[in-house]
Amino acid sequence: MPARASSLRSWFRRGTVFAAAGLLLLTAAPGASTAPEGRTGPAWVGSWTTGVTVASPGTGLTGFTDTTLRQVVHLSVGGSELRLRLSNVFGSSTLQIGAATVALQHAEGGSRVDEDTLRQVRFGGERTTTIPIGAEWVSDPIDLTVPDGANLTVSLHLPGPTGPLTQHRSAFATNWTTPGNETAAEGTGFTPLGTSWFLLDAVDVRTVSAGSAVFFGDSITDGAITTVDRNHRYPDRVAERVLAKPERAEYGVLNAGIGGARLLTEQGPAGQSAMTRFDRDVSGQSGVRAVVLLLGINDIGGTRGAVLAEDLISVHRQFIARAKSLGLKVYGATLLPFEGAGYYTPDGEADRQALNKFIRTSGEYDGVLDFDRATADPAQPTRLRAAYDSGDHLHPNDAGMEAMAAVVPVDRLVR
């Protein structure tokens, strides 16, 4: 890890999560730290993040030249200031940022911004910056109050040529480009780019909160096959429930899901293995207090059940140990049913059952989110309930994501 990235990451972090009710099974956590009931004053906390990877074939691989890239991210908790984290972790050359702005998305949506909220972004007091290969780069604090659940538009002018970009392939959010430096433009004249995020890594807000919770996983956490631009990923629905509580200590909800991710192996544009990306996607988040792990189905399906369940369990144990060594609460989520999916096999089902048994009964997690039982067809528990099936028998649809979020006891997550 480059020294600059390491120092920024340690500066950018800290903050725990989770408990009981419904399908959450709570166990004691000897030696685990206790999350505070809330903070006495404003502090930096993660409001949004994404898991980043190497570029996939297409725009991410070819990069940009003299282009404004306008992207929208959906915040969880709001605050009185914010700051961006940009990433050149997987870049092949230094990355120049010619200009950057943030603004709330216009009420009409799309590429338009609310011009009253448009703010220039600075790095060390300058409007331009150059990010070294392998580094994460944090902006200066930005004087913009953002409400809970806001859509934040981030515009980056990339003089380029950038070469391959650090990317999040499946954002399920539309983003736009236009030639030249149009970072301060209201937004008409932009062309839809697709549904990937580039270079964005995290958004922190300054607020009174109880910290942040990281939801770490694969495409199911990432929100695969949910409705584009509707923010129906299950962590988004958890955040909605947090913000709907009449009396609450707010906390950030951070989605570190990557489509195709595995516990054991590196997957290129589908992400690094679980422990390889732990520092960046878990301990590197601001105000992190706890993490939920939902991962393993791609190891099982991708090997057609040839992977050993004990190998998957060993990574879960390493994940638990690492999280607890940092004073974090760590929660296991059972793997959802997948019979009927393209990579389903009976051997794979046996692996899934073995891993779920460990998650439920080992007592090594601080608690268990039983997404398996929440989404299974009662008549055939190895399959997703039809009302929750997106059609591929693997990924829940919007209703399935809501059912997953309903398992989470949001009023007790950070206590």
Of 331, 336, 324, 326, the closest CA to residue 362 belongs to: 331
Averaged pLDDT, 161-180: 97
- Rounded CA gap, 300 and 339, in Å? 12
The pLDDT of residue 323 is: 96
Of 253, 325, 323, 337, the closest CA to residue 293 belongs to: 323
Inter-axis angle of helices 234-244 and 398-407, nearest 10: 50
The pLDDT of residue 178 is: 98
Inter-axis angle of helices 346-361 and 309-325, nearest 10: 30
The pLDDT of residue 248 is: 57
Residue 179's alpha-carbon distances to 69, 112, 153, 174, 204, in angstroms, are 9, 16, 17, 18, 29
Residue 7 has pLDDT above 90, yes or no: no
Strand order in the sheet with 200-207: 43-49, 200-207, 81-87, 136-138
Residues 6+ apart with CB under 8 A from 395: 219, 220, 224, 225
Q: Please, are residues 301 and 343 in contact by the beta-carbon 8 Å criterion?
A: yes
- When pLDDT is cut at 50, 70 and 90, the band that residue 374 belongs to is very high
CB atoms within 10 A of CB 302: 18
Q: Please, are residues 223 and 172 in contact by the beta-carbon 8 Å criterion?
A: yes
Q: Please, are residues 211 and 45 in contact by the beta-carbon 8 Å criterion?
A: yes
The pLDDT of residue 37 is: 46
Of 272, 286, 295, the closest CA to residue 90 belongs to: 272
- Mean predicted lDDT score pLDDT of the chain: 90
- Rounded CA gap, 76 and 308, in Å? 37
Averaged pLDDT, 296-310: 97
CB atoms within 10 A of CB 177: 20
- When pLDDT is cut at 50, 70 and 90, the band that residue 247 belongs to is low
- The DSSP output letter for 126 is B
- Rounded CA gap, 144 and 137, in Å? 19
Q: What is the DSSP track for 163-220?
A: -S--EES--SS-EEEEES--TTS-STT-EEEES-EESEEEEEEEE--S-EEEEEESHH
Q: What is the DSSP track for 50-89?
A: ---BSPPTTHHHH--SSEEEEEEEE-SS-BSEEEEEEE-T
Residue 3's alpha-carbon distances to 83, 134, 335, in angstroms, are 21, 10, 37
- Rounded CA gap, 140 and 235, in Å? 27
∠ CA 181-184-190 to the nearest 5 degrees? 65
Superfamily of the domain at 3-41+208-412: SGNH hydrolase (3.40.50.1110)
Domains in the chain: boundaries: 3-41+208-412, 54-201
Residues 6+ apart with CB under 8 A from 253: 76, 77, 212, 213, 215, 235, 236, 238, 239, 242
The pLDDT of residue 16 is: 29
Task: Return the exposure string of 85-96: e unless at least 16 CB atoms fall within 10 Å of the residue's CB, then b.
Answer: bbbbbbbeeebe
Which range has the worst mean pLDDT, 43-57, 233-247, 290-304?
Answer: 233-247
- Rounded CA gap, 141 and 205, in Å? 9
Residue 23 has pLDDT above 70, yes or no: no
- When pLDDT is cut at 50, 70 and 90, the band that residue 249 belongs to is low
Higher-pLDDT residue of 15 and 407 is 407
